[in-house]
A and B are shown apart, each in its own frame.
Chain A
């Protein structure tokens, strides 16, 4: 809020009525309000006036809200301004897509006055808190990273789990993490998580999920049940707009059974000792948004020497090429072919090295967990 007396809000909506209603509600609370009727005007105002918060309608003729937020997030000057989307009451797809693009919240139409004010207030506060934290507490963040890293299980901590790992976190507090844990003598759990967004809140989520895994990944529950129970808690504790994708593999060495559940995460790669690498494609809802979730469990009979890989989308995405992860999967399978004979210890780091493209700067966290039966 840079020394300005009152926070400035930018309202973007093609409907003059919506603009008038929001403007009146918010001015009354002492906010300075500027308004735009369409996308290009909104971007220009955002850049020039650098408002403290933007309320952005999704459905606008011409340049819609999704395009506008895309532009705003790409520009360093406007990237950190919190954006609240305006959506129809029932438009779940728009809500999820909005979060994916970096919106912090949404307000549904028709408006409910107190709700609008509460959300605006909350996000101004959060943004202010985040900014001051980032500005003044960089050293704390560093400690946080150390704490977070110390929570990660190393292959040497759990040799019987036969895994290798590559972990690279971009920011001080990472958005990806993994855990490997014994469930019983012959059973191990392998869990990889990608938290949407990078911010200070991510770090407490790491600790929370780790605790949840401990509580819910036990011999009593199947992986699908564990995932559901973890979701139920996350729905309660995650800040609105934040969600996780995750993949959970449970390996029963005695029964030679591998069970996998996938919550919106890239597919597991299964590398049979004598056979072609293949992708385990599964459906499953992301964690932390929906009360009702669906997961599909995939069971594989495995043999000693078989391997599998769980990884985060940072391994396979190439944002500068505008390639989303599903387009890069063939490349991943090819890389898996190259590493099929190297010792398990080097599997994950070597794969990460092969997938890294020197031409582009890495701009996401990367986690690779490789396991051998």
Chain B
């Protein structure tokens, strides 16, 4: 994860980047909650939407692991499959916590 390059790419200064990170941490936390409860109740549409939101946010900030996992999860959910979804969601949350810890 090369934050310096990322910040440059987006044309933001450090303060702005921290502000954006704060939004990422906040919205992704709630998207993850939404994702995991959707999986528990077997709601594929909600699962896809939550995964889509996480994918977009992670992609924009260059968190590629989360992006790829969320993307796969979204695609499967759109095909009405939640196979392995709970496990992927858990891994995404773990990756997310690692990033969030660095910025807290």
Residues of chain A touching chain B, judged by Cβ–Cβ distance below 8 Å, are 14-18, 20-21, 24-25, 28, 59, 61, 109-114, 117
Contact = CB atoms under 8 A, between A and B. Distances in A.
Given A61-B49, A109-B56, A25 B11 contact: yes
A109 B10 CA distance: 12
Interface stretch (B19-27, B35-43, B84-92, B96-104): B19-27
A15 B53 contact: yes
B52 A59 contact: yes
Contacts of B19: 20, 24
Interface string B36-60: 0000000000000100110011011
Contacts of B56: 15, 17-18, 109
A28 B23 CA distance: 19
Contacts of A112: 9
Contacts of A110: 59-62, 67
A17 B23 contact: yes
Given A109-B56, A110-B60, A110-B62, A17 B11 contact: no
A21 B27 CA distance: 14
11 contacts: A17-B56, A20-B23, A21-B60, A24-B20, A25-B11, A25-B12, A28-B11, A61-B49, A109-B59, A110-B67, A113-B9
Contact of A111 (B10, B49, B52): B10
The 7 closest A-B pairs by CB, nearest first: A113-B11, A110-B59, A17-B57, A110-B60, A113-B10, A15-B56, A17-B23
Nearest to A28: B11
Given A15-B57, A109-B59, A110-B59, A21 B52 contact: no
Contacts, number: 52
Interface residues of B, number: 20
Interface of B: 9-12, 16, 19-20, 23-24, 27, 49, 52-53, 56-57, 59-62, 67
A110 B61 CA distance: 8
B78 to A, nearest CB: 11
Contacts of B59: 109-110
Nearest to A24: B16
Nearest to B59: A110
Contacts of A20: 19-20, 23
B62 A17 contact: no
A20 B10 CA distance: 11
A117 B27 CA distance: 25
Nearest to B45: A61
Nearest to A59: B52
Contacts of A24: 12, 16, 19-20
Given A113-B10, A117-B11, 14 more contacts: A15-B27, A15-B53, A16-B23, A17-B20, A21-B60, A24-B20, A25-B11, A28-B11, A61-B49, A109-B56, A110-B59, A110-B61, A111-B60, A114-B11
Contacts of B10: 21, 25, 111, 113
A111 B56 CA distance: 10
Nearest to B7: A113
Contacts of A61: 49
B103 to A, nearest CB: 14
